[in-house]
Amino acid sequence: MKFEAFRKSIRLSKEDISRDLLAENRDRIKIKKEKVAVRNLVKILDAALAIGNAKGFASMSLRDLSSEANLSMGALYAYISSKEELLDMIQQQGRIVVVKVMNESLSGIDEPAEKLKTAIQVHLYLSEVMQPWFYFSYMETKNLPRDAHRKAIESELLTEGIFAEIIEAGMAKGVFRQVDPRLSAALIKAMLQDWYLKRWKYERRKVTVEQYGEFLVDLILSYILIRD
C-alpha cells in the first residue's frame, strides 16, 4: 500500500477530527452551533499541539494558547473547562481514531505475513498523518490525571496486543518461527514510535515514510519468517 492511497482512503481532516471530538464532548463545550464550534476547535487543537509539542504542555500558558488560536481567554473557556481537560481531550480523541483505523484496515486479512505487514504500514502511515497527535500523546502521558493515565497505558498495550496476536496466529499456522510474540510486538511498537518521535532526524535524511515502512517490514520478516 502506498502512503498517498492510505491518506486519501481515510477521512481524517482536522475538521473531521474536531467534529468527532465535539460530538464526544457535547455536554462540556458551551458553544451551540456546530459550524462555529468546529471552526474554533480546529484553531484550538492546532495551537495546542503546536505549542505543546514545541515546549511541552505544562510550559504552555493559556495566554500562549489564546493568542496563537486568536481567541480571548474567555472564549477559550467556552470550549474547554480546564487546561487539564484539554490535555485529556486531545489524547482521548487520538486513541479513538487509532483503534478505529487499525480495526477497519485489518479486518478481512488472514494470511499472517500479509496481515503483519499491513498492520505495520497502517500504524506507521496513521502516525504520519496525525504526527502532532502521536508525538503529543507520547510525551504528555505522564502529565495526565490518574484515570486518564491508566487509559493511555491500556491503549499502548492494546495496540501492542494487535501485533502480538498476529504473530501468535502466524506461529500457530506454521508460517512464523517460534519467537516471543509479546517481546516481538513490543519492539515493533518501539520502532514504529521512533518514526514520529524523531521526525526531525528522518526528515533531515530525506527518508520517506514508505522507505521506513519497507525497511521495518524487511527487518521483522527476516527475523520471523521460517528460513529455507
46-85: which residues touch DNA (CB under 7 A)? 60-64, 70-75, 77-78, 81-84
Which residues 6+ apart lie within 8 Å of 53 measured at CB? Answer: 132, 135, 136, 139
Q: Side chain identity at 133, as an amino acid letter?
A: W
Of 23, 54, 73, 158, the one binding its own copies by CB under 8 A: 54
# chain residues binding DNA, by CB under 7 A:
24
- What does the alpha-carbon distance between residue 51 and residue 126 come to, in Å, rounded to a whole number? 22
Any contact of residue 95 with its own copies (CB under 8 A)?
no
Helices (H), 56-145: 62-68, 73-79, 83-106, 112-129, 131-140
Cell of 206: 530525506
Work out how close the CB of 116 gets to its own copies at its nearest, in angstroms, rounded to a whole number: 15
CA distances from residue 75 to 15, 72, 132, 137, 220 in whole angstroms, order as listed: 19, 5, 24, 25, 49
Q: Which is nearer to DNA, 28 or 198 (CB)?
A: 28
**144 DSSP 8-state letter:** S
Cell of 148: 486518564
Q: Which is nearer to DNA, 30 or 150 (CB)?
A: 30
12-51: which residues touch DNA (CB under 7 A)? 30-33, 36-37, 40
The item of its own copies, DNA, none sharing an interface with residue 216, based on CB under 5 to 8 Å by kind, is its own copies
Query: Which residues contact DNA by CB under 7 A?
Result: 30-33, 36-37, 40, 60-64, 70-75, 77-78, 81-84
Query: Which residues contact its own copies by CB under 8 A?
Result: 53-56, 58-59, 139, 142-143, 153, 156-157, 180, 182-183, 186-187, 189-191, 193-194, 198, 200-202, 205, 207, 212, 215-216, 218-219, 222-223, 227
